[in-house]
């Protein structure tokens, strides 16, 4: 019979979804993980971090994400050997206005759609500590190649920074002229960028759907919204 081996490493969980937080905490404890604290917001996380002094932080990163990344940077400054494991539905942080250079070195990022069982998380805890000591770069934990590395995720990673930023503005409902003013370029330039994004993603304009609506729908699907 398989026996759970207790891991004494102190872990702090952070997740704004209280049900998911409670469920994940209970499941990890059953896997022998030493959960010392649970926080549903960054304010509580900061207080628990100071009082509990965890060795690893497991955080579910939700858009917009700046507050969470700021917390992680402060926590790593307090404890330079802190292991950081990030869970997210977002396959590319540029989609929410972040870059990997903003993430503390050695952090491990688990793409939630590729998470098949919790042993992946528990294994990642150990590697997150080793990565800090080795000063490794940020690493994505992409099990099963995200169901054979599906084409939509490949395609978003291939978009340039300019294309990603333009797509974000389209998804926010800005017109081409408004995007042109924000980015200090011509409206014609924006039109060309939008057309290239659509072509790259395989979204063709037709009478049955609005191109900008289709692009926005694709964007929000990457952020975890259900595909219609």
CATH number of the domain encompassing residue 111: 3.40.50.2300
pLDDT digit string, tens, across residues 134-150: 767 888 876 544 444 45
Q: Which of helix, strand or coil describes residue 221?
A: helix
Is the same domain home to 47 and 155? no
Is the same domain home to 29 and 131? yes
Which pair of structure tokens corresponds to residue 127? Answer: 């590697």
- Please give the share of the chain, as a percent, with pLDDT higher than 90: 52
At residue 132, the pLDDT reads: 76
**Residue 170: inside a domain, yes or no?**
yes
What is the crossing angle of helices 187-201 and 151-158, to 10°?
150
Identify the CA nearest to 200 among candidates 183, 186, 218. Answer: 218
Which pair of structure tokens corresponds to residue 30? Answer: 């059953």
Please compute, for residue 142, the number of CA atoms within 13 A of its CA located in the half-sphere on the CB side: 14
Please compute, for residue 148, the number of CA atoms within 13 A of its CA located in the half-sphere on the CB side: 1
**pLDDT category, 208, cuts 50, 70, 90?**
low
Q: Is the dihedral of CA 24, 30, 32, 36 positive or negative?
A: positive
Is the same domain home to 11 and 112? yes
Is the same domain home to 54 and 160? no
Predicted confidence (pLDDT) at residue 29 exceeds the cutoff of 90 = yes
Which has the minimum average pLDDT: 163-167, 215-219, 220-224? Answer: 220-224
pTM equals 0.82
Is the same domain home to 128 and 158? no
Identify the CA nearest to 157 among candidates 169, 146, 171, 173. Answer: 146
Identify the CA nearest to 157 among candidates 83, 224, 90. Answer: 90
Which has the minimum average pLDDT: 14-28, 58-72, 134-148? Answer: 134-148
**Residue 228: inside a domain, yes or no?**
no
Number of domains in the chain: 2
Q: Which of 87, 113, 147 is the last residue in one of the domains?
A: 147
Predicted confidence (pLDDT) at residue 151 exceeds the cutoff of 60 = no
Predicted confidence (pLDDT) at residue 71 exceeds the cutoff of 70 = yes
**pLDDT category, 7, cuts 50, 70, 90?**
low
Which one of 50-59, 84-93, 136-145, 147-156 scores highest in mean pLDDT?
50-59
Is the same domain home to 141 and 171? no
| Domain coverage including residue 126 | 7-147
Predicted confidence (pLDDT) at residue 4 exceeds the cutoff of 50 = no
Mean of pLDDT over the chain? 86
Average pLDDT, integer, range 7-22 = 91
Is the same domain home to 173 and 73? no
Is the same domain home to 45 and 157? no
Is the same domain home to 93 and 34? yes
CA distance 134 to 157: 26
Is the same domain home to 120 and 132? yes
CA distance 41 to 16: 6
Is the same domain home to 178 and 212? yes
Q: Which of 112, 147, 182 is the last residue in one of the domains?
A: 147
Is the same domain home to 13 and 53? yes
């Amino acid at each position: 019979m398989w026996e759970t081996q207790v891991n004494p490493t102190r872990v702090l969980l952070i997740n704004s979804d209280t049900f998911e937080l409670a469920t994940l905490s209970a499941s990890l404890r059953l896997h022998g993980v030493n959960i010392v604290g649970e926080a549903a917001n960054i304010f509580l996380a900061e207080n628990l971090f100071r009082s509990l002094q965890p060795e690893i932080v497991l955080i579910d990163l939700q858009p917009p994400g700046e507050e969470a990344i700021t917390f992680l940077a402060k926590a790593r400054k307090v404890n330079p050997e802190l292991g950081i494991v990030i869970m997210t539905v977002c396959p590319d942080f540029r989609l929410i206005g972040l870059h990997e250079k903003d993430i503390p070195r050695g952090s491990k990022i688990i793409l939630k759609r590729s998470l098949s069982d919790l042993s992946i998380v528990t294994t990642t805890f150990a590697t997150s500590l080793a990565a800090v000591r080795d000063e490794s770069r940020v690493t994505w934990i992409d099990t099963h190649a995200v169901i054979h590395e599906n084409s939509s995720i490949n395609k978003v990673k291939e978009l340039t920074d300019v294309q990603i930023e333009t797509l974000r503005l389209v998804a926010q409902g800005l017109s081409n002229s408004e995007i042109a003013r924000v980015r200090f370029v011509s409206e014609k330039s924006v039109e060309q960028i939008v057309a290239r994004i659509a072509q790259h993603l395989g979204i063709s304009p037709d009478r049955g759907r609005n191109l900008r609506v289709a692009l926005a729908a694709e964007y929000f699907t990457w952020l975890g919204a259900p595909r219609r």
